[in-house]
Chain A
Amino acid sequence: MKILVVIKQVPDSTTNIKIRPDGEDIERSGIKMVVDPFDEFAIEQAVQLKEKRSDVESVTALIMGPARCSEALRTILAVGADDAIHLQDEAFEKLDELQVAATLGAVIKDGGYELVFRGKQEIDLDSGQLGPALAEALDWPHVGAATKFEPAEDGKSFTANRRIEGADERVEVRLPALVTCEKGLCEMRYPSLPNLMKAKRKPVKAMTAADVPGFAEITAGVGGSEMHQFAPPPQRPPGRILKGEAEETAKELVKLLREEAKAI
């Protein structure tokens, strides 16, 4: 079984986000970029499977993005991916998420993979579109936001758990399939220094738009949304600090919530 892990490099979650003066993007300079925290679960799950099962042939990492993504790839290779594909082209920068999914689908389709892992959500765009959209592009089933993953003995199916509103859902899915990973599935091991050194020698295949079969047609066929007018989040009105002893403040709060905020 060949496993693929789709990775995204994103601004660190603790980074201060500033908007560019023209409002067409955020300020990109000086931002610390990391592997998306949900993609960390994805690579760890894939590597654990390879360690546990003799039928797992290889784990390949796939990333789309500019040259700086090689840093993220190195981390992923050090954690245990065998090789990687780096899709890099200016033509990719204007794609929306559905168009990215269509592009990745074309790259993956004939690769012989049976299982694709991905984080449940990209913490930059916060949308979680890519995983399910990629599964649809491949016409594969998917499990979104999995917290548990157990492959069947025969390697033809798996069961997975996912959290939904107020419940835990257990599903059975036939391979080939795509799984997006939620917190609780596993925690990524720390890439050791020797493994980071070894990662430098692992093969990374570079691909451009010209290497993607039918790139122009497939990206013209779906999506096409555009992001504009970036802005800081709407300012919340200044709050009010209630003064006094607990007895007074608690009573005042209940009164305000009822009469002013009309929230209870």
Chain B
Amino acid sequence: MTNDILIFVEQRDDRVHPGALQCVTPGKSLAEKAGGKVVACIVGDNIDGATSAVEQTGVDRIITVSDPALKMYSALRYRTALAAVMEKVEPRVVLMAATFMGRDLSPRVAMRTKAALATDVIELDLTGDGELDIVRPLYNGKATCHVKFPKDRPAIATIRANTFPTPTGGSGAAREDLPYTTLDGDDRINVLEIAKTGGDVKDVTEADIIVSGGRAMKNEDNFKLIFELAKELDAAVGASRAACDAGYQPHSRQVGLTGKTVTPKLYIACGISGAIQHMAGMRGSKIIVAINTDTEAPIFNIADYGIVDDLFKVVPILTEEVLRLKG
């Protein structure tokens, strides 16, 4: 095992996931402590754009595994590719973004490479003994714990989006290609179709800002207020379980325990009371705004800014005001 830190850089259609670039920041500090290098690995097909995006973060070395068979994500093919890179680099630590892909891929790779794994990490450090020590939330965000890794095997961690900034200003990474050597049975999963959902509106797991509506929206039509504000802020639209169950919005927009977990830089909750189930999915947001008529609504307990008022009055003025500032 070397002291290198390997970063699996997630991309789809040559577009790097922002969470993947954010992994370079803790990657660099771990590498400095361990006395190793930061190595990025990109798996896909036609990935020049993704490769140069990674180079700008200032990694030391980039390994690409490019093959038509890797054009779309497959848990089996990608685990084979990443395991091969790990075998070559022998990293002490592997970091990747805690996305759908990261959550799907990391347990398989950890199993295959006899590593140890922690997911959804919010802090990480190397102890004096060279053991990785991380902090992660659990029990739907109602607690955190430290996870200690054994030092005799590689440690894999998936990192929560927006926990770290994206480094810039790098260039001149050493590059190399590694062929994808298919394993027997890698073709047992085949992607038939990827259908975009949500039209032009960003997905809640991808946006820096989310504007969310709850049951108090009363119907689907009223959500246009939320969409208008979201558009001006370049934000995604989210919804509570109550709003989705009532049919105001599709479940793909649901934020919460049985929906999606989000950690945007700004979360604006409109007419959302803050059921435990909802807060489990958004309490990791950097700044939380709550707009609700009920002073006692639990969402105010975790909000940075609160307005106790009718969202139907407040939201249109917010939209106007944002528009005015931009103009």
Given contacts A239-B303, A264-B233, contact A141 B116 (CB under 8 A): no
Bound complex: CA A251 to CA B259 (Å): 32
Closest to A38 in B: B258
Given contacts A143-B189, A221-B114, A254-B321, contact A165 B99 (CB under 8 A): yes
Bound complex: CA A17 to CA B138 (Å): 10
Band of interface residues on B: 35 or more
Tell whether, in the assembled complex, residue A225 and residue B147 are in contact, meaning their CB atoms are under 8 Å apart: yes
Given contacts A26-B143, A136-B112, A242-B307, contact A184 B251 (CB under 8 A): yes
Say yes or no for A142: interface residue by CB 8 A criterion. yes
Say yes or no for B115: interface residue by CB 8 A criterion. yes
Tell whether, in the assembled complex, residue A173 and residue B142 are in contact, meaning their CB atoms are under 8 Å apart: no
| Complex partner residue of B188 from A136, A173, A222, A264, CB under 8 angstroms | A173
Tell whether, in the assembled complex, residue A231 and residue B306 are in contact, meaning their CB atoms are under 8 Å apart: no
Closest to A24 in B: B145
Given contacts A126-B139, A225-B116, A226-B148, contact A249 B266 (CB under 8 A): no
- Chain A, residues 82-117, CB within 8 Å of chain B (1/0): the string is 000000000000001110011000000000000000
Closest to A19 in B: B143
**A166 to B: closest C-beta gap in Å:** 3
One of B30-38, B59-67, B203-211 contacting the partner: B203-211
The dominant DSSP class at the A interface is mixed
Closest to B134 in A: A225
Tell whether, in the assembled complex, residue A132 and residue B277 are in contact, meaning their CB atoms are under 8 Å apart: no
Q: Which residues of B contact A228 (CB under 8 A)?
A: 145-148
One of B50-58, B86-94, B193-201 contacting the partner: B193-201
Which residues of A1-60 are within 8 A (CB) of B?
11, 13-14, 16-17, 19, 26, 37-38
Bound complex: CA A44 to CA B117 (Å): 30
Tell whether, in the assembled complex, residue B150 and residue A26 are in contact, meaning their CB atoms are under 8 Å apart: no
Tell whether, in the assembled complex, residue B143 and residue A224 are in contact, meaning their CB atoms are under 8 Å apart: no
One of A62-70, A191-199, A255-263 contacting the partner: A255-263
**A199 to B: closest C-beta gap in Å:** 26
Q: Which residues of A contact B119 (CB under 8 A)?
A: 126-129
Closest to B311 in A: A246
Tell whether, in the assembled complex, residue A132 and residue B104 are in contact, meaning their CB atoms are under 8 Å apart: yes
| Complex partner residue of B137 from A183, A233, A256, A264, CB under 8 angstroms | A233
Tell whether, in the assembled complex, residue A98 and residue B321 are in contact, meaning their CB atoms are under 8 Å apart: no
Closest to A174 in B: B188
| Complex partner residue of B305 from A173, A174, A230, A242, CB under 8 angstroms | A242
Closest to A105 in B: B111
Tell whether, in the assembled complex, residue B313 and residue A263 are in contact, meaning their CB atoms are under 8 Å apart: no
- Chain B, residues 294-310, CB within 8 Å of chain A (1/0): the string is 00000011111111111
Which residues of A139-197 are within 8 A (CB) of B?
139, 141-145, 159, 162-174, 177, 183-184
Which residues of B90-133 are within 8 A (CB) of A?
99-101, 103-108, 110-112, 114-120
Closest to A145 in B: B100
Say yes or no for B153: interface residue by CB 8 A criterion. yes
Given contacts A135-B108, A144-B100, A167-B195, contact A232 B143 (CB under 8 A): yes
Residues of A whose CB lies within 8 Å of any CB of B are 11, 13-14, 16-17, 19, 26, 37-38, 96-98, 101-102, 123-133, 135-137, 139, 141-145, 159, 162-174, 177, 183-184, 221-234, 236-237, 239-242, 246-247, 249-251, 253-254, 256-258, 261, 263-264
Minimum-distance CB pairs A-B, first 7:
A166-B203, A250-B317, A136-B111, A133-B107, A132-B107, A246-B313, A263-B266
What are 16 inter-chain pairs, A to B, with CB distance below 8 A? Answer: A101-B107, A125-B138, A126-B120, A136-B107, A144-B104, A162-B100, A168-B194, A221-B114, A222-B110, A222-B115, A224-B149, A226-B148, A236-B283, A236-B304, A250-B318, A253-B307
